[in-house]
Structure 1
Amino acid sequence: MKRHAALQQLSREHHIALKLARQARFASDSGNPTAIGEAAEKINALFAEALEPHFQVEETDLLPALAKAGGETLVKRTLDEHAELRALNQQLSAADGSKLSRFATLLNDHVRFEERELFELAQDLLYPEH
């Protein structure tokens, strides 16, 4: 999908998130407590260095502009999912396979939603010249 320059870096960062979701899925599906714990530790580290900064850019720059332009429903969903991902990340320290599974599913679905719906709407409303 061709992205407007303002969305290209965010879109590239989604690749990292999808890889992380996939790793979380493999670990949770394994049922192996060691693999689950290692995945949870990796997620905690990458969340702080990659996902949280990504969320902050979206929440500071993209989402307010999109809400003003008429995208309130998708903005609310995005913020709700960011909040749930943050909460799940905090709960992963217990190395719970079901929480890791929920994190994997939500992160994967969230990235797909942003790429297929949120960013498409942003391009239409904020960057119509794309």
Structure 2
Amino acid sequence: MKRSAALIKLSREHHTALSLALRIERGGDAATLAALQVKVPTIFREELEAHFQEEESSLLPQLLLAGEAALVNRTLAEHRQLRKLVDRIAAGDLASLPAFAEQLRAHVRFEERELFMVAEQVLPASPPPA
């Protein structure tokens, strides 16, 4: 799907999230899962957290001003839940990996199919301020 110029970067960054979810879902042996338990918090902090911060500081405030409070609230709630899961994984909770992968995939799907579609309809075509 072709994205507006304002959302291209955010949309492309979803590839990292989906790749991570797929790696977790494919799992593997205990050693692979233990490695993922270490890698997931690092990847989240280095790549996905910046994506969340960008959405929270530029896109979501604009959507809120455009009257899209329900979408903004859902996005923020999902960001909080994903952060909590990453914290649990970082604390050694291996059982949180599958839930994180499932919620991350669902979150990307929501953003691509709902949040970004609405943003393209209600926001100006110029990129949001960073």
Normalised to the residue count of structure 2, the TM-score between the two structures is: 0.91
User: Structure 1 residue runs of 4+, over 6 Å off?
Assistant: none
Shift of the alpha carbon at 1:95?
A: 4.4
Query: Which structure: greater helix fraction?
Result: 1
Q: Could you say which residue in structure 2 is the equivalent of 1:78?
A: 75
Q: Does 1:13 align with 2:13?
A: yes
CA–CA distance in structure 2, aligned partners of residues 72 and 105 of structure 1:
25
Q: Could you say which residue in structure 1 is the equivalent of 2:61?
A: 64
SS at match of 1:119: helix
Q: Percent identity?
A: 46
1:36 pairs, out of 33, 36, 39, with 33
Shift of the alpha carbon at 1:7?
A: 0.4
- Equivalent AA in structure 1 for residue 119 of structure 2: A
CA–CA distance in structure 2, aligned partners of residues 33 and 88 of structure 1:
20
Normalised to the residue count of structure 1, the TM-score between the two structures is: 0.91
Shift of the alpha carbon at 1:40?
A: 1.6
RMSD: 1.4
- Equivalent AA in structure 1 for residue 101 of structure 2: A
- Equivalent AA in structure 2 for residue 117 of structure 1: E
Q: Could you say which residue in structure 1 is the equivalent of 2:114?
A: 117
Contact 1:66 1:122 in 2 (8 A): yes
Give the unaligned 5+ runs of structure 2.
Answer: none
Shift of the alpha carbon at 1:128?
A: 6.2
Count of residues in correspondence between the two structures: 125
Q: Does 1:88 align with 2:53?
A: no
CA–CA distance in structure 2, aligned partners of residues 37 and 16 of structure 1:
20
CA–CA distance in structure 2, aligned partners of residues 89 and 65 of structure 1:
27
Contact 2:5 2:125 in 1 (8 A): no
Give the unaligned 5+ runs of structure 1.
Answer: none
